[in-house]
Structure 1
């Protein structure tokens, strides 16, 4: 069904799109596994160029740029795989198959000739993985899972945009996790020598502490992977194939607390959930609940295929990287790493002074992206 809404000066049509997945059936209550909203101008010819945006977990159906880009004559499919709001069970190969469902709908049903993959925030590495798999199949199943045939022939995108994009799921979690945790079953356990909220350690944080802290973060990620692999092995021959577990305290990147580390225009001592200390000891966080296989698929430094760099190295279509210079948790080094890893000869890095969600500059961001697309 379609509905009409008015944004800044142009009427926008929004169409709900619900489609089957090549992997699982429709829900008993009736919902399709793959769902989204297609935004387009309400009058005039149907768009020949359209964006598609998807995320590992966040609902992108009403993405903040959808109406702005539709006003400028584009189609925009805010797309969700079945893992929307369902991060504990995420599997990369399954998600890529379901993103492919949305890309095919744009080409075959919406009449779009050119598809632009928009990788926003965490979706940056996800959409990079999609294009990478489409042009050079490389994604393999996580331990004990069957290959997904539907990802062997994905329709590729024609352009790629990374907007306020992180450098990959395992890298982000590791950079944010609190390495002072001494007992993964105790959310309050802490080694004082690594506690980022102990005034004895900072801020400001000395170079030696930063080095020990980063090494301890990587070590924590590796310890969890060791345990996950051991538990999967122990489950063989039992009635269970997987289990859930918690990852505590994942809002402790030193850059969130100390603005002297990689200075930018961000508000100091702030993360996406506000005060890092309060967020770190709260119950909302990335990777906070996982299955064993989801850890291996999305969060493990050793096994995850959600690392952006190898996928970006397979992207040769024209590419645009847009960095928000006041982003609380994506830093200049992240944007430059994404830009540097892209194999595209035609690539550009642009900066917008705003926070992660571009609340003050969405029209400007839409104008920037529109101008870049029209040049091509």
Structure 2
């Protein structure tokens, strides 16, 4: 298989085991979305006798995930649910993604699969943990509104329960991830180059050293930096909520008669640009949360990528910011949803991961409500590429026996 820089791999269909069934499915969610899914089945495997491994990521299309051929080859079915806004951070609302997954699982159960096991890879970890939390609650006890105040419709949805959940290179949720890598030295949200020198992670006086040398940030600076990151998130939250309130006021005005200006405001959506979101100190200082990783982030060298156009949550609607990217407002973090995640659990970590760090994994394991979490480490980067070379699908050899023991 030829690897690419993302979580997927463009394997050729011929690389699937002989006789693999591939079925494309579209189901309609409770809110009217056409949710697309892909089911891979092993040759001769009847649904009632086969475990279906369920993959979903809120931002990435996992339909060609790098573990699919190996899992199918081991005799497991793999179902991949695509989120309605995969590849589009602009409108990513996690509550809607749960509706997509629920509809896909309802179809999967309907065709005979009796056992479904989630595989939460990277950002899929927070999504699936949130799903488990909501699926195990009675409908009337589910989260009724998105963080922006819109009806979630989770109380109306069928959310079939998973039987177990495996985590693969899991991070603690999109909002928690962004809170760790957002640059708190931004002083003006409208100026991508505004900098508070006292918080600048790329200032030599604060401990920065040019690559490939590792930076060295003092504990006091790290503490100030982390606190300032949360403060910046809180400020963006305030902006997002102000935009939501403005739109709500316009819609109410339209219902009362309103003006042409009210109608324009009611039909428009403010966008939030979040500058500089690739500045996790651990990417530059390899002694912080020490692991086998190399220098840099998943995007490259932060001194360059931090000011680029690519990054987590760079452009969003207020709804998407509050539901997905705010560590303070989002419900889709393992810290918040994890205590109700009581299913049998396996955690597979990659020891050279430069997106998920040992402290993140400890926090994830500590937040889960299940007992006896099994943790396995593999020497690979965030995308499963082995440090010493070789096959990218080593995690399948860990997953297979665990699935059979359930």
TM-score (ref. length: structure 2):
0.85
The SS at the match of 1:94 is helix
Per the TM alignment, residue 204 of structure 1 is displaced from its structure 2 partner at its CA by 0.9
The SS at the match of 2:198 is helix
User: Within 5 A, what are the aligned runs for 1:106-145?
Assistant: 106-109=108-111, 111-136=112-137, 137-142=141-146, 143-145=148-150
Is the contact made by 1:66 and 1:78 (CA closer than 8 Å) also made in structure 2?
A: no
Distance change in 2, residues 1:73/1:196 (3 Å): same
CA distance in 1, matches of 2:152, 2:175: 22
Per the TM alignment, residue 151 of structure 1 is displaced from its structure 2 partner at its CA by 5.4
Per the TM alignment, residue 346 of structure 1 is displaced from its structure 2 partner at its CA by 4.0
Is the contact made by 1:93 and 1:151 (CA closer than 8 Å) also made in structure 2?
A: no
Is 1:348–2:377 an aligned residue pair?
no
Is 1:161–2:169 an aligned residue pair?
no
CA distance in 1, matches of 2:205, 2:345: 45
Distance change in 2, residues 1:372/1:159 (3 Å): same
Counterpart in 2 of 1:177?
A: 182
The SS at the match of 2:376 is strand
Is the contact made by 2:142 and 2:155 (CA closer than 8 Å) also made in structure 1?
A: no
Is 1:215–2:227 an aligned residue pair?
yes
Per the TM alignment, residue 320 of structure 1 is displaced from its structure 2 partner at its CA by 0.6
CA distance in 2, matches of 1:263, 1:159: 30
How large is the RMSD of aligned CA atoms in angstroms?
1.8
Distance change in 2, residues 1:273/1:147 (3 Å): closer
CA distance in 2, matches of 1:310, 1:349: 21
Deviation string 1:271-322 (CA, Å, 9 cap, x unpaired) is 1111111111110111111111111111223321112123221122211111
Distance change in 2, residues 1:86/1:21 (3 Å): farther
Deviation string 1:311-344 (CA, Å, 9 cap, x unpaired) is 2211222111111110011001111211121111
Counterpart in 1 of 2:314?
A: 288
The SS at the match of 1:50 is strand
The SS at the match of 1:39 is strand
Counterpart in 2 of 1:278?
A: 304
Per the TM alignment, residue 44 of structure 1 is displaced from its structure 2 partner at its CA by 4.6
Distance change in 2, residues 1:207/1:131 (3 Å): same
Per the TM alignment, residue 43 of structure 1 is displaced from its structure 2 partner at its CA by 3.7
Per the TM alignment, residue 232 of structure 1 is displaced from its structure 2 partner at its CA by 2.4
Is the contact made by 1:37 and 1:78 (CA closer than 8 Å) also made in structure 2?
A: yes
Is the contact made by 1:133 and 1:151 (CA closer than 8 Å) also made in structure 2?
A: no
TM-score (ref. length: structure 1):
0.92
Is the contact made by 2:17 and 2:69 (CA closer than 8 Å) also made in structure 1?
A: no
CA distance in 1, matches of 2:282, 2:372: 32
Counterpart in 1 of 2:258?
A: none
CA distance in 2, matches of 1:108, 1:157: 14
Unaligned runs of 5+ in 1: 26-32
CA distance in 2, matches of 1:149, 1:296: 17
CA distance in 1, matches of 2:377, 2:311: 27
Of 286, 291, 305, the residue aligned with 1:259 is 286
Per the TM alignment, residue 154 of structure 1 is displaced from its structure 2 partner at its CA by 0.9
User: Within 5 A, what are the aligned runs for 1:1-376?
Assistant: 5-7=13-15, 10-25=18-33, 33-46=34-47, 48-109=50-111, 111-136=112-137, 137-142=141-146, 143-149=148-154, 152-202=157-207, 203-235=215-247, 236-237=249-250, 238-239=262-263, 240-241=265-266, 242-268=269-295, 270-360=296-386, 361-376=391-406
Is the contact made by 1:244 and 1:291 (CA closer than 8 Å) also made in structure 2?
A: yes
Deviation string 1:22-43 (CA, Å, 9 cap, x unpaired) is 2235xxxxxxx31132112134
Distance change in 2, residues 1:346/1:205 (3 Å): closer
The SS at the match of 1:78 is strand
Per the TM alignment, residue 209 of structure 1 is displaced from its structure 2 partner at its CA by 0.8
The SS at the match of 2:362 is helix
The SS at the match of 2:29 is coil
Is the contact made by 2:384 and 2:393 (CA closer than 8 Å) also made in structure 1?
A: no
Worse-superposed segment, 322-331 or 9-18: 9-18
Is the contact made by 1:120 and 1:163 (CA closer than 8 Å) also made in structure 2?
A: yes
Paired residue total: 364
Per the TM alignment, residue 169 of structure 1 is displaced from its structure 2 partner at its CA by 1.8
